[in-house]
Structure 1
Amino acid sequence: MTNEQTLEEPKPVKKGMLDNVLEQFNHAADQINLNPNVRKILSITNTEIVINFPVRMDSGDVEIFTGYRVQHNNALGPYKGGLRYHPTVDINGARALAMWMTWKTSLAGLPYGGAKGGIQIDPSKYSAGELERITRRFTYALGENIGPEHDIPAPDVNTNAQTMAWIADTYMSTKSTSERSKNMHVVTGKPVGSGGLEGRDRATGFGVFLTIKFWAEKTKQSLKGKKFIVQGFGNVGYWSAHFLQNEGAILVGVQDAFGSIQNKDGIKVEDLFNYAKSNHGSIVGFPEAKVLEGKDFFGLDCDICIPAALGNQITKQNADSIKAVLIAEGANGPTDVEGEKILLAKGVTIIPDIMCNSGGVIGSYFEWLQNRNGELWQLDEILLKIEKKLRTTFDKVTEYSEEKNLDLRTAAFCIAIERIEKAYILRGIFP
Structure 2
Amino acid sequence: MVTEAPKQKVQLKQGMLDNVMRQFSNAAAIIGLNSNIRKILEVTNNEILVHFPVRMDNGEVEIFTGYRVQHNNALGPYKGGLRYHPTVDIDAARALAMWMTWKTSLAGLPYGGAKGGIQLDPSKYSLAELERITRRFTYALGDNIGPELDIPAPDVNTNSQTMAWILDTYMSTKSPAERSTNTHVVTGKPIGAGGSEGRDRATGYGVFLTIKFWAEHNGIDLKGKRFIVQGFGNVGYWTAYFLENEGAILTAVQDAYGTIHNDNGISVENLLAYSKANKGSIVGFAGAEPLDNGEFFALDCDICVPAALGNQITVENATKIKAALIAEGANGPTDVEAEEILLQRGVEILPDILCNSGGVIGSYFEWLQNRSGEIWQLEEVMAKLEKKLRESFTRVMETSKKRGVDKRTAAFIIAIQRLEDAYVQRGIFP
Structure 2: gaps (5+ residues): 1-9
Q: Which amino acid aligns with 1:241?
A: A
Match of residue 16 from structure 2? 17
Q: Which amino acid aligns with 1:196?
A: G
Match of residue 4 from structure 2? none
Three-state SS of the structure 2 residue aligned to 1:60 is coil
Distance in 2 between residues matched to 1:301 and 1:267, nearest whole Å: 15
Match of residue 3 from structure 2? none
Match of residue 83 from structure 1? 82
Match of residue 341 from structure 2? 342
Q: Which amino acid aligns with 2:322?
A: K
1:178 aligns with 2:177: yes
Match of residue 284 from structure 1? 283
Residues 57-102 of structure 1: CA deviation (Å, up to 9, x unaligned): 0111100000000000000000000000000000000000000000
Three-state SS of the structure 2 residue aligned to 1:196 is coil
Q: Is the 8 A contact 2:11 2:315 kept in 1?
A: no
Match of residue 5 from structure 2? none
Match of residue 72 from structure 1? 71
Match of residue 386 from structure 1? 385
Match of residue 405 from structure 1? 404
Three-state SS of the structure 1 residue aligned to 2:138 is helix
Distance in 2 between residues matched to 1:290 and 1:399, nearest whole Å: 42
Distance in 2 between residues matched to 1:380 and 1:12, nearest whole Å: 47
Match of residue 8 from structure 1? none
Match of residue 133 from structure 2? 134
Aligned residues: 421
Q: Is the 8 A contact 2:13 2:314 kept in 1?
A: no
Three-state SS of the structure 1 residue aligned to 2:304 is strand
* TM-score between the two structures when normalised by the length of structure 2: 0.97
Distance in 2 between residues matched to 1:404 and 1:88, nearest whole Å: 36
Residues 80-130 of structure 1: CA deviation (Å, up to 9, x unaligned): 000000000000000000000000000000000000000000000001110
Superposition pairs for residues 181-200 of structure 1, below 5 Å? 181-200=180-199
**How far did 1:357 drift?**
0.2
Distance in 1 between residues matched to 2:171 and 2:106, nearest whole Å: 31
Three-state SS of the structure 2 residue aligned to 1:27 is helix
Superposition pairs for residues 88-103 of structure 1, below 5 Å? 88-103=87-102
Superposition pairs for residues 21-420 of structure 1, below 5 Å? 21-420=20-419
Distance in 1 between residues matched to 2:131 and 2:278, nearest whole Å: 23
Distance in 1 between residues matched to 2:39 and 2:13, nearest whole Å: 25
Distance in 2 between residues matched to 1:179 and 1:71, nearest whole Å: 24
Three-state SS of the structure 1 residue aligned to 2:67 is strand
Q: Which amino acid aligns with 1:124?
A: S
**How far did 1:15 drift?**
1.1
Distance in 1 between residues matched to 2:279 and 2:411, nearest whole Å: 38
Q: Which amino acid aligns with 2:353?
A: I
Distance in 1 between residues matched to 2:384 and 2:120, nearest whole Å: 35
Distance in 2 between residues matched to 1:143 and 1:382, nearest whole Å: 31
Distance in 2 between residues matched to 1:131 and 1:253, nearest whole Å: 31
Distance in 2 between residues matched to 1:177 and 1:349, nearest whole Å: 53
Match of residue 428 from structure 1? 427
**How far did 1:13 drift?**
3.9
Q: Which amino acid aligns with 2:220?
A: Q
Give every structure 1 segment of 4 or more consecutive aligned residues whose post-TM-superposition deviation is greater than 4 Å: none
Three-state SS of the structure 1 residue aligned to 2:360 is helix
Q: Is the 8 A contact 2:24 2:412 kept in 1?
A: yes
Residues 6-61 of structure 1: CA deviation (Å, up to 9, x unaligned): xxxxx954310000000000000001000000000000100000000000001111
Q: Which amino acid aligns with 2:179?
A: R
Residues 185-222 of structure 1: CA deviation (Å, up to 9, x unaligned): 00000001110000100000000000000000000010
Distance in 1 between residues matched to 2:160 and 2:11, nearest whole Å: 41
**How far did 1:229 drift?**
0.2
Distance in 1 between residues matched to 2:201 and 2:241, nearest whole Å: 10
Q: Which amino acid aligns with 1:202?
A: R
Q: Which amino acid aligns with 1:414?
A: I
Distance in 2 between residues matched to 1:13 and 1:334, nearest whole Å: 16
Distance in 2 between residues matched to 1:203 and 1:212, nearest whole Å: 14
Three-state SS of the structure 2 residue aligned to 1:182 is coil
Three-state SS of the structure 2 residue aligned to 1:339 is helix
Three-state SS of the structure 1 residue aligned to 2:53 is strand
Between the two proteins, what is the percent identity of the paired residues? 74
Distance in 2 between residues matched to 1:378 and 1:184, nearest whole Å: 19
Distance in 1 between residues matched to 2:118 and 2:244, nearest whole Å: 34
**Larger RCO: Structure 1 or Structure 2 (Cα < 8 Å, ≥ 6 residues apart)?**
2
Q: Is the 8 A contact 2:231 2:307 kept in 1?
A: yes
